Amino acid sequence: MPDAAAERREDLARIRGALELAADVIARFSPGTVAVREKDNGSPVTDADLAADEALRRALPAGDEGWLSEETPDDPARLARRRVWVVDPLDGTREFLAGLREWCVSIALVEDRVAVAGGIYAPALGELYLGAPGVGATLDGEPLAISRSETLAGTTALLGRWALSGRRSEAFAHAPFSVRPVGAAAYTLALVAAGRGDAHWSRGGKAEWDVAAGVALVTAAGGRVTTWDGATPSFNAWPPRIPGIVACAPALQEPLRAWLSRLR
């Protein structure tokens, strides 16, 4: 009978190799000289994004596995696949172009709509996160675990910079926790998995490729992740979006959701 944990470790080994491959590809490009254009939604895409996407698409899917990536036209055939790779070849393109270090490569394996393994690599920071529920999570090969905080007092929420801009920041003026801005969504979830922040949330919908790997990591590290309305995230859907996300230590889930319910 196959060893489920051994099979998952094989999946993680594939993810690690693919993360390193993508980082090598991206290293050929310089933020100051890389060709960049604007997508229909106004977000930037560079030749580094596209080259990493092509390399990963060639390296990862095997057999009957499906593919979903931010930089590949979506193929509805993935919906009939049991195992699907969900990839953002360069999450944080704006950070990359600005010369900031908080960009990453994000790879998740989704099986029966569940994120069962994930890896996030921030090459500029030298941080490689891997994790699978039931196997555990690591940072550069060392075990990591979610925050042990049991109350919101004194904790730190990691939020996208947009959430702290303008009048949005007023919502946190009297919060029992501090807030810290982080760039790429995937990297933010990796930090929560590592206990380097206590919580992350986004009320707006998120693309699957932004959060699938992070969901696998946070869960593997002992944390809890739900959609904004409290449901379990489900992947390989159409359209490929998650209706908001809340990630934190298990003990923080109820007090955090109570506090978030006051937001308008």
Query: What are the chain's domains?
Result: 4-141 (3.30.540.10), 156-260 (3.40.190.80)
Question: Residue 254 class from Cβ within 10 Å (0-12 exposed, 13-18 middle, 19+ buried)?
Answer: exposed
Q: How far apart are CA 115 and CA 135, in angstroms?
A: 13
Confidence of residue 42 (pLDDT cuts 50, 70, 90): confident
Instruction: Please tell me the pTM assigned to this model.
Output: 0.95
Identify the three-state secondary structure at position 246: strand
Contacts of 26 (CB under 8 A, 6+ apart): 48, 51, 52, 90, 96, 105, 123
Per-residue pLDDT tens for 194-247? Answer: 999 999 999 889 999 999 999 999 999 999 999 999 999 999 999 999 999 999
Whole-number Cα distances in Å, 114 to 96, 97, 111, 219: 29, 32, 5, 11
Q: How many CA atoms lie within 13 A of 121 on its CB side?
A: 24
Per-residue pLDDT tens for 43-91? Answer: 999 999 999 999 999 999 999 999 999 999 999 999 999 999 999 999 9
The pLDDT, as a whole number, for residue 166 is 58
Contact 184, 102 (CB under 8 A): yes
Per-residue tokens: 66: 């499906």
The pLDDT, as a whole number, for residue 163 is 63
Least confident of 24-28, 160-164, 225-229: 160-164
Q: Which of 105, 116, 17 is nearest to 65 (CA)?
A: 116
Helix H, strand E, coil C: the string for 151-181 is: CCCCCEEEEEHHHHCHHHHHHHCCCCCEEEE
